[in-house]
Amino acid sequence: MLCYSRYYADPDQNFQYTADIFADEARRWRNLENTAAAVFSRYGYGELRTPVFEYTEVFQKGLGNETEVVQKEMYTFEDRGGRSLTLRPEGTAGVMRALSCTDVMNGVEQRVYYYGPMFRGERPAAGRRRQFHQVGVENVGRVAPLIDAECIAMLMDYLHSIGITDAKLAINTRGVMEDRGPAGKLLADYFGRHIDGMCDDCKARLTRNVWRILDCKQEACRKVVAEAPDYVASFSEASRAYFDEVRAALAALGVEYTVDPLLVRGLDYYVHTVFEVTHGGLGAQTAIAGGGRYELYLPGQKKPVPGVGFAAGMERLLMVQDALGLGAPASPVLPVYLVGLGEEARIANLKLAGELRRAGIRVELELEERSFKAQLRNVNKSGALLAVIRGEEELKKGVAAVKTMATGEQIELADPELAGYLIGFARNL
């Protein structure tokens, strides 16, 4: 269960800005991260860690000044030197900024994955707070339909590996930048004839960025969008052929999908393939992951850097796991708990604990003066399999009592034998 601080709560909202993650919940997060590392590394991806803040222009130029993320949602501030900095609202721009320092600008492919916190000042919702977390990948430097298809297949592989086997994949094409003019005019002409009945945001989008209208969730706008002309038909033959190759590759890989002509994603840098994965276990907010191919301009670069990637919301992945009844990974087994009566016994146990831990064995022990009865209660509460008991009598004899908690059976071991016995026991679990 997540513990929320009132300090971080919006009194006018039902959802909190941020959340603390304690040990039991953290095991679930670690499972998502470890599985990501295992799956993505099989595809040749290596981990990249970027700062949580960047120069603001990295996102302005990378994501597009007209996107809602840049216009409305970024946490931007000035440092003491008057430089504009922004907490990262997504992972791609920072990754691309980092990779621009490599040979990727010369067409050398880079495959990286990442996970960590992102920040957006948007309305909090289920599975999305002001600080949220993503796991994602970027394949940068090369352009090919098969690269797009492999990236999508890897995402579905990851979801299956964390137990989400019934998610739905939708794909579409955004063509290339040269296609946007004819297609955008086609959409603008159509929406212009129906704009009076649409929301205020879409009225602004008509002249600012007509593609964002396709993303609108207002019911009145959705009805107009549903009758929009087939803009893909106006794309170049090469763009349509690229999408056909992606679809053929997905079929060859056995990846099931549907084509959604309204899927454009929310950022301007997308070209060619875009995709989104949804799951009904989230309620109204069904999206759990999405991405696509992009061309991203970075500060100081005169040409865009090509790439393809995706990001999945980790909070939403956990929500889907909950809906599927997958629950949390089992708590790690505690093989040994050390009980010590008296300071000398506690010191002896502390030395033994150090030896066991250096051997890779998990162990807990009592470090303050407590009664034997109180210490045994702690042993039972911990779930330890063995209790090692030493007091004044055992120290005089140079032995320790080893109690099997499940049966109550107890044996006595000499000090020189004790560590080896416990290590062997733990490693055979």
pLDDT in tens, the chain (429 residues): 344 443 344 544 445 688 888 888 899 999 999 999 999 999 999 999 999 999 999 888 877 776 778 777 899 999 999 999 999 999 988 998 888 888 887 778 999 999 999 999 877 666 668 899 999 999 999 999 999 999 999 999 999 999 999 999 999 999 998 988 888 899 999 999 999 989 998 999 888 888 888 888 889 999 999 999 988 989 999 999 999 999 999 999 999 999 998 888 766 788 999 999 999 887 767 899 999 999 887 667 778 888 999 999 999 999 999 999 987 777 789 999 999 999 999 999 999 999 999 999 999 999 999 999 999 999 999 999 999 999 999 999 999 999 999 999 999 999 999 999 999 999 998
Pairing of strands 386-390, 336-340: parallel
300: three-class secondary structure by DSSP? coil
Domain spanning 336-427: CATH superfamily: Anticodon-binding domain (3.40.50.800)
Identify the pLDDT of residue 66.
67
381: three-class secondary structure by DSSP? helix
Of 31, 122, 55, the C-alpha closest to 317 is 31
CA–CA separation, 400 vs 138, rounded Å? 55
* pTM of the predicted structure, to 2 decimals: 0.84
Domain residue limits, the chain: 6-176+236-323, 336-427
For the chain, give the mean pLDDT.
Answer: 89
CATH code for the structural domain at 6-176+236-323: 3.30.930.10
- All residues at 6 or more sequence positions from 299 whose CB lies less than 8 Å from its CB, including other chains: 55, 57, 58, 61, 97
CA–CA separation, 66 vs 133, rounded Å? 24
Measured from the Cβ of residue 120, the count of other Cβ atoms closer than 10 Å reads 21
pLDDT digits (tens, 9 = 90+) for 235-249: 999 999 999 999 999
Q: Among the residues of 359-414, which ranges form H helices? A: 372-382, 392-397
Structure tokens at 250: 């997905």
Structure tokens at 67: 């996107």
Measured from the Cβ of residue 366, the count of other Cβ atoms closer than 10 Å reads 19
Task: Give the distance from CA 270 to its chain's centroid.
Answer: 20
Structure tokens at 71: 């216009």
Sign of CA dihedral 284, 288, 294, 299: positive
Rounded alpha-carbon distances, angstroms, from residue 205 to 28, 30, 187, 191, 287:
40, 40, 11, 10, 23
- Paired with 413 in beta bridges are 400
